[in-house]
Amino acid sequence: MRAQQNMPIRLVWWVFGALALVHLAAQLVGADAAADVTQWFLMPVLASVLWLSTAAPRSRLVVLTLVALGFSWLGDSAPDLADGDTAFLLMVGFFLLAQITYIVAFAPYTTPTVLRRNRGVVVAYVAAVVLLVAACAPGAGVLLVPALVYGAALGVMAVLSAGVIRTAAIGGGLFLVSDGMIALGAFADWFTPPVEGFWVMATYIAAQVLIVLGVLAADGGHQRGASAPQVRAGNG
């Protein structure tokens, strides 16, 4: 019976994996149209995995993660409707809403004890945000304020993710890496890595997958067909 329940979940995981592979391949070969189209579907399919993997009534953590994935989808797709600074601000705006939603989702899992236990991760994430802002500020111009606000939210999200479970903490760190590359590409003339879009999207996809897996692990008792007690927060 459980195998039958899990079959749709496996199928959606396969669909997500295929989309991710096609998208990353398109990034590598510069097939912009294919990269754009596949990017539109990545987060909805990943959200479907989370939805199918959990049972009603879904927990606060799961619901907020679904909302964050929705804002991420808008951040992925809405910029295609605009150009230049407007497209950039649309992306930053929707991803800022995603980061705020993740912050609200992860905050109850974060206690002083959890932060002390993960102090190395916390210090690393804070240092990364400070260095990123310092590197981007000279070239940000009129976009400095929204970049600062988003950078602060991203850093807080990454720090709070350490309180959920280790998998989510790694996802939060990769999100920081991915968005850091976007910021450096936009504001730092010296940052010109080969196939930048591939690395941005590879770390972004991995980040969102690890966050979802971390949420499922922390929410184990609410998983569809699961009977095990809920995993305690802060196992990271």
pLDDT one digit per residue (tens) for the chain, 236 residues: 455 567 889 999 999 999 999 999 999 999 999 999 999 999 999 999 999 999 999 999 999 999 999 999 999 999 998 888 888 889 989 999 999 999 999 999 888 877 787 788 788 888 888 898 889 888 888 888 888 888 889 989 998 998 898 899 999 999 999 999 999 998 888 898 999 999 999 999 999 999 999 999 998 755 665 433 333 334 43
pTM higher than 0.85, yes or no? yes
**Burial (CB count <10 Å: 0-12, 13-18, 19+), residue 4:** exposed
d(CA 179, CA 201): 9
d(CA 234, CA 53): 21
CA distances from 185 to 129, 169, 189, 199 (A): 15, 24, 7, 12
